[in-house]
Chain A
């Protein structure tokens, strides 16, 4: 179904005044940038937390600033683990690719003037902001942040202070913060879906949508179906913690020789099912937009159409659907029925298939191309390499037999960091280098971009590849150091190597930060279409006018990846170029 933007009636007048323009803005472009700034702050906070963790792991006896007596306690280590994971997964990987870039570019790429619900959009950002504030406040309560990991398994997360430091107010604030984040995500998902279905410009049929739009759309569907479950789980956990219910707490628990008599009949496994029913789609929410961006960048900078566009669309939808069917692979050792484990295992192996299809198609997109090594393209190429590496370790973990050894070891840490903590981040960086000119009207410095790429690409492999070997040696995750278990001592040199690599890689991100900030004022002024790209955002000024198309309604005549078409002198044809004009000028 194709409707014109005007039928949607979502035009709002140009904002006046600083507050309306930059703080409580209804403009999806401003809201997108707000999300990106929130993610930028969060990623540096998350990296700082992980640096503290890495320094402690490498040199446990080394005195650190901010810690009393200079030494980090095990509970402080676990608080860092919990907050690092929570902030990175929620405030970086769920915001930047989808709510950040998606908010800014989905409406423009489909030819709309704004999102379907601009007020809801503004609300979703500020709700996210509040959730970050609530979550971060856990650091400042007397006993500190929670120590139960971003996964917050009960009973540890449900019974309060007696299970450990940080499990009182810190854990409660965490649960509330996550619940608020769920509400914000649901709002955003509603907006994305409605906008994509209803506000496409004339001629923008579904199979002419850029793959970025397909990715944002399917991601929003995942968000709508998954975040409701996490919200419910958080409410149940909050009730267990504060209202004496026992959804997750069985009876007869003993803490320091005292029996807990206020709860009985609950199941710790119930939380795991609810959490992972959300948690698995969540990781696809984190990676799908990056896949869309990778396809978009590889095509644009190889000057070739995406190989197998329809197959890519089917793969995105397949990954989205199957993503809901595999949550049990996080629970092979949980005490869940082993027969379910068998089913989840086969479904998980199946989800490797659409991922493999996408990888083949990315290679097919590059094949026969004329590759331009812009910073954006470098990150897209890095994405492909990282996705392959990270995805393949999933084949080990998907088999319950092998998971019996590898579960909760550094092998898992390697797997999810390569996929989420790196490939998804490369998708974000690629998007940033590509779209910064459009958003801010200035070019980023390409030399610094190349340097940033090399430091990061080499660095992340140096950090996370050794973790596979640690896992094979049996090194458990979430261990504050290697002094407690005998067989870990000989692995300590690997920790030192990883930490040194991490310090260098994090320092390398300052190159990006400098480039980002400095180019705002001093970058070369950006033209309308510096990359000779085909999609609709490259037909309007950099940055675009407040209503995206200056009152005009774009009309789309062709698909999004018309590069190198035979018989034309230009090596690209924009989506909205009238057919008559194609033969004239091209």
Chain B
């Protein structure tokens, strides 16, 4: 057999490629393990379940990642052109079946395991005693409405929306239930340890309600009222940032989320009632 062209077997290239793959794999894994950039602490029970499922997935994908990259590096170095003939084999049905089944079981198993946390967030609705809060998104702000002492939200009409006259969500003055509604612009207060039932709405385009510490994201879609419920356990101040492209102000469409102890929450509500007078 004559081989034309320059000699392509090269220990230098094989070694360099194998070493690069090793280094790349090691650095990637290290940064994950060392958590140079990581989640902020979760503040709900489902949030902690998220963290467990993420960790499970990370371990499985991590093992596969390391095995595949190292396997590639090994094959590259060990089977570089060295003047020996290649081993001729066309496949191995047994191995094909084995790794197909193993992958299927592993991936589907992981997927089914993940559904528990999903079901708790989305298959079950809020419990009857949850605090209802209405979240209205718009270009480029968040407004939060509380039902007030009567526990009912007043009717809203789009044509009544007027930021300049202090009616950003368009409450109808003719509806008595709306008279005690409290609208908090840009600040969402939540009582710690009590379940909350958010109703997400949008005035104009699709926005995204996203709070990292809750491990939750949900689009607010115009024409829809989408519910999201959770119970935050850890008091603190967190940030809500828009998670769905909504126009030029998307990058600064933020709000403050305050998880407050019950007494502090009562104080906050009283301050809001006074301000809404």
Contacts and interface: CB of A to CB of B under 8 A. Distances in A.
Interface string B1-23: 10111101110011011001100
A285 B99 CA distance: 25
A335 B226 contact: yes
Contact of A563 (B83, B86, B224, B246): B86
A564 B161 CA distance: 76
Residue from B3, B10, B57 having most chain A Cβ neighbours under 10 A: B57
A41 interface: no
Given A303-B86, A472-B38, A155 B115 contact: no
Contact of A269 (B54, B99, B221): B221
A483 B251 CA distance: 8
Contact of A266 (B79, B80, B103, B223): B223
Interface in A67-85: 73-75, 78
Interface stretch (B67-75, B127-135, B190-198): B67-75
Contact of A395 (B14, B110, B117): B110
B206 interface: yes
A349 B107 contact: yes
B81 A370 contact: yes
A346 B245 contact: no
A156 B86 contact: no
B208 interface: yes
Contacts of B229: none
A371 B76 contact: yes
> Interface on chain B toward A: helix, strand, loop, or mixed SS?
mixed
B108 A334 contact: no
A153 B84 contact: no
Interface stretch (A29-37, A45-53, A377-385, A548-556): A377-385
B141 interface: no
Nearest to B209: A333
Residue from A310, A373, A563 having most chain B Cβ neighbours under 10 A: A373
Nearest to A362: B72
Interface stretch (A95-103, A275-283, A485-493, A574-582): A485-493
B4 A530 contact: yes
Nearest to A405: B215
Nearest to B124: A338
A173 B31 CA distance: 44
B137 to A, nearest CB: 11
A384 B71 CA distance: 11
A527 interface: yes
Interface stretch (B87-95, B143-151, B176-184, B264-272): B87-95
B171 interface: no
Given A352-B107, A363-B72, A389-B65, A476 B242 contact: yes
A367 interface: yes
A309 B91 contact: yes
Nearest to B31: A469
B101 to A, nearest CB: 9
B208 A408 contact: yes
Interface string A428-464: 0000000000000000001000100010011001000
A371 B14 contact: yes
A236 interface: no
Nearest to A76: B248
A483 B252 CA distance: 7
A254 B88 contact: no
Interface string A352-381: 110011011101101111111110011001
Interface residues of A, number: 125
Interface in B16-72: 16-17, 20-21, 24, 28, 31, 36-40, 49-50, 53-54, 57, 60-61, 64-65, 68-69, 71-72
A147 interface: yes
A267 interface: yes
Interface residues of B, number: 110
A493 B253 CA distance: 22
Nearest to A395: B61
A566 interface: yes
Nearest to A311: B96
A259 B159 contact: yes
Given A155-B222, A399-B110, A480-B251, A364 B50 contact: no
B164 interface: yes
A405 B69 contact: no
B243 interface: yes
A564 B111 contact: no
Nearest to B114: A399
Contact of A356 (B71, B90, B103): B103
Contacts of B241: 474, 476, 485, 487
A367 B74 CA distance: 9
A121 B202 CA distance: 46
A474 B205 contact: no
B63 to A, nearest CB: 10
B92 to A, nearest CB: 8
Interface in B224-277: 224, 226, 239, 241-254
A187 interface: no
Contact of A469 (B10, B36, B61, B115): B36
Contacts of B206: 153, 155-156, 268
Contacts of B88: 304-305, 563-566
B175 interface: no
A370 B79 contact: yes
B163 A478 contact: no
B245 A148 contact: yes
A408 B217 CA distance: 9
Contacts of A156: 205-206, 245-247
Contacts of A359: 68
Given A399-B114, A484-B253, A487-B212, A408 B243 contact: yes
Contacts of B80: 370-371, 373
B139 A163 contact: yes
Contact of B254 (A393, A486, A494, A586): A486
A525 to B, nearest CB: 13
Contacts of B239: 485-487
B187 interface: no
A328 interface: no
A364 B20 contact: no
B96 A308 contact: yes
A140 interface: no
Contact of A250 (B40, B159, B222): B222
A307 interface: yes
Contacts of A250: 222-224
B52 to A, nearest CB: 10
A166 to B, nearest CB: 9
B20 A457 contact: yes
Nearest to A255: B204
Contacts of B53: 399, 401-402
10 contacts: A334-B219, A342-B115, A346-B112, A405-B39, A473-B38, A478-B245, A479-B251, A484-B254, A532-B4, A586-B1
Interface of A: 73-75, 78, 147-149, 151, 153, 155-156, 159, 163-165, 250-255, 257, 259, 266-269, 301-311, 333-335, 338-339, 341-342, 345-346, 348-350, 352-353, 356-357, 359-361, 363-364, 366-374, 377-378, 381, 384-385, 388-389, 392-393, 395-396, 398-402, 404-405, 407-409, 446, 450, 454, 457-458, 461, 465, 469-470, 472-474, 476, 478-481, 483-487, 491, 494, 527, 530-532, 563-566, 569-571, 586
Given A74-B250, A359-B68, A363-B71, 13 more contacts: A163-B204, A254-B204, A259-B161, A333-B244, A357-B96, A363-B72, A367-B87, A371-B75, A373-B14, A392-B64, A401-B117, A405-B212, A457-B20
The 10 A-B residue pairs with the shortest CB-CB distance in the complex, in nearest-first order = A250-B223, A484-B252, A368-B87, A372-B8, A338-B122, A349-B111, A308-B91, A479-B251, A399-B114, A469-B37
